Structure 1
Amino acid sequence: MNNKGFLVISLDFELLWGVFDKVDHKDKKLYFENTRKVIPKILNLFSEYNIHCTWATVGMSFNRNFEEWEANKPTTLPEYINSSLSAYQYGDLLKTELSDLSCFAKDLISQIKNTPNQEIGTHTYSHYYCLEDGQTLASFKADLEKSISVARAMDIELKSLVFPRNQFNESYLKVCYELGIENVRSNPTDWYWKDTQSTSLKNKLFRTGDAYFGSNNKSYKIKELNKIDGKPLSQKASRLLRPYSTNFFLNSLKLKRITSEMTYAAKNGEIYHLWWHPHNFGNNPNENLSDLRKLLEHYKKCGIKYGFGSLTMSELNSFV
């Protein structure tokens, strides 16, 4: 058993499907143009620093355009009580207005697939909300089956899943496993991550503040991961990499928090699981890429000094 630590990175690759219920798409054209441009640059950085990464990709983005999107609708659709959460309703209403470039990314998925050490996972097909009123096991299963189908059409086998909005649903793990999903990302154990649907000011303040202040480390031992028959391996997230802040002091604190936690994981042979959304780099892309390079440079130093390595979610599974 390797007693050296590992950096695990998972990215929630969504484009507009991840935020359509929260933003006005008309204001986000440049944002997603930047996102598309920044993804190849992230891949170049990962190649430069030999970073292994899992890209949890919304299945709808595997389509080429809205015509293909229409043809690929599952037979069973989610029936959320809050219908505005449905990507299907959203697409039907706005597909004449929406840019294909904000929604579809077959070209970028191919580039990720062809980059060494990158795993393509799933973020469900429709950015499915697993804890919202009206969701059902049947519609979730149909959604996941469609993700698997469109991925296989590109010769991609999905082994890892990240629940959208971190709505981790324990009761859905069995069907994930039955459909070939071997790994899922779970949430940090801090109390303010327990209820991911909470919009309370208290939760928001603690989640935000934790990115900059505090002394508790977020890494963990591989032995803390337990394989359970009939379920995917639950891999706990450590830290969300928040976007670049124009407040120099806060941005420096954020980077210092991550690098100190990474050092602790490297010294103690632990897992440090960092995650973010590629579209988080849509504003201030150059500054975000610069921050990422600083973090990867620190990772490199940890590798030289402590033997710190890099794994995808599927690769971590093989160590458990």
Structure 2
Amino acid sequence: MNNGTLVISLDFELLWGVFDKVNWRDKTAYFERTRKLIPELLQLFHKYDIHCTWATVGMLFNENWDEWNANIPECLPDYENKNLSAYKYGKSIQSKETEKLCFAPNLVKLITESKGQELGSHTYSHYYCLEPGQDSLAFKSDLEKSSELASNHGVELKSLVFPRNQYNSDYLEICGKAGIEAVRTNPNNWYWKNTQKDSLIQKIFRTGDAYFGLLDKSYSSSQIQNFTKNITGQKASRLLRPYSGRKILNSLKTKRIYREMEYAAKMGQYYHLWWHPHNFGNNPNENLRELESILIFYRKLKNKYAMQSLNMNELKTDHFEIKS
């Protein structure tokens, strides 16, 4: 039987992931805490030998607004909802004060220099692949810009996470031509379908699923999708929800993750945990403690069942070795 595997991917965005939902002036301290969390997360991952894919919005690679302005792609998405455009938004908030919310090349460098950590793509502009008005030409231009700036860090982007989980199978060919070899897809559950519409009932079921339900979140190698000879689709298993301040709910959440991880370890399956680093921006110490408890449990499973930790690109390699 294959070893069970813990896969972790993080959607690293800072303000670019939520600019259409918040006022940046209300989030300055929140994102400052998020920035400080990145080295602490890397230290935890090093301590427990955790490999992780950091799916990073390419705009974070820029040093400042001058670079950002110089790196606007030739073809931009023409969303019907203009408030979704990172370019329109970026042009409206340019100041020294907002640079720390929108750019993080030093943190990108820290990630690339850390053992077991993969720098992946979350597109250049937090591109919404299912929103009306966007198209394949703009998506292609977006990925090319991310790859260009990643190469300045000596990195070839090989794994991709679609922003807001707007997975679009029509764009897989473009991903492949851009060098992408693995993409994160959504769980099979109905409440993860059509995430761009996201009904209230879907949100309710996703929230409830964090605390109750079947052990159905891990998957075997045979369930990994081979979209093409070059690209694998890797299902997300569980969103690690942030610390809520409610003791009972936090306990239910972590115990559910323990049970799912142990099941994956026993059955030789993959368990893919994901979240946004900024999810830890409130209550950072409590969130780090919860995460460390999960990593301690992983170490127990590693000792008992030889569970392993892989990033997305390593999972792809592991999968093809098993298949062959």
Give the TM-score of the pair, scaled to structure 1.
0.98
The 5 Å alignment of 1:1-320 reads 3-96=2-95, 98-229=97-228, 232-320=231-319
Q: Is contact 1:145–1:179 with CA below 8 Å preserved after alignment?
A: yes
Q: Distance in 2 between matches of 1:123 and 1:226?
A: 20
Q: Aligned letter for 1:151?
A: A
C-alpha offsets along residues 53-109 of structure 1, whole Å, 9 cap, x if unaligned?
A: 000000000000111000000010110000100000000011137521111010000
- Identity over the aligned pairs, expressed in percent? 59
Q: Is contact 1:12–1:278 with CA below 8 Å preserved after alignment?
A: yes
Q: Aligned letter for 1:167?
A: Q
Q: Distance in 1 between matches of 2:199 and 2:224?
A: 30
Q: Is contact 1:174–1:230 with CA below 8 Å preserved after alignment?
A: no
Q: Distance in 1 between matches of 2:305 and 2:266?
A: 6
Shift in alpha-carbon separation, 1:210–1:250, aligned structure 2, 3 A: same
- Aligned-residue offset at 1:143: 0.3
Q: Distance in 2 between matches of 1:287 and 1:98?
A: 28
Q: Distance in 2 between matches of 1:228 and 1:34?
A: 38
Q: Distance in 2 between matches of 1:12 and 1:229?
A: 24
Q: How many residues align?
A: 319
The gaps in structure 1 that reach 5 residues or longer are none
Q: Distance in 1 between matches of 2:259 and 2:20?
A: 35
C-alpha offsets along residues 1-28 of structure 1, whole Å, 9 cap, x if unaligned?
A: x711100000000000000001111100
The gaps in structure 2 that reach 5 residues or longer are 320-324
**Please, what is the CA RMSD of the aligned residues?**
1.0
Q: Distance in 1 between matches of 2:148 and 2:195?
A: 29
Shift in alpha-carbon separation, 1:12–1:21, aligned structure 2, 3 A: same
User: What secondary structure, in the 3-state scheme, does the structure 2 residue paired with 1:10 have?
Assistant: strand
Q: Distance in 2 between matches of 1:211 and 1:247?
A: 14
Q: Distance in 1 between matches of 2:282 and 2:134?
A: 33
- Aligned-residue offset at 1:197: 1.4
Shift in alpha-carbon separation, 1:212–1:108, aligned structure 2, 3 A: same
Q: Is contact 2:4–2:306 with CA below 8 Å preserved after alignment?
A: yes
Q: Is contact 1:7–1:311 with CA below 8 Å preserved after alignment?
A: yes
User: What secondary structure, in the 3-state scheme, does the structure 1 residue paired with 2:83 have?
Assistant: helix
- Aligned-residue offset at 1:232: 1.7
Q: Distance in 1 between matches of 2:96 and 2:316?
A: 42
Q: Aligned letter for 1:257?
A: R
Q: Distance in 2 between matches of 1:113 and 1:201?
A: 38
- Aligned-residue offset at 1:230: 5.3
Give the TM-score of the pair, scaled to structure 2.
0.97
- Aligned-residue offset at 1:199: 3.1
Q: Distance in 2 between matches of 1:143 and 1:98?
A: 26
C-alpha offsets along residues 237-257 of structure 1, whole Å, 9 cap, x if unaligned?
A: 000000001011001111011
Q: Aligned letter for 1:314?
A: N
Q: Is contact 1:188–1:236 with CA below 8 Å preserved after alignment?
A: yes
Structure 1 stretches of at least 4 aligned residues deviating more than 6 Å after TM superposition: none
Q: Is contact 1:174–1:231 with CA below 8 Å preserved after alignment?
A: no
- Aligned-residue offset at 1:231: 5.4
Shift in alpha-carbon separation, 1:109–1:294, aligned structure 2, 3 A: same
User: What secondary structure, in the 3-state scheme, does the structure 2 residue paired with 1:272 have?
Assistant: strand
Q: Distance in 2 between matches of 1:137 and 1:251?
A: 41
Aligned partner of 2:322 in structure 1 is none
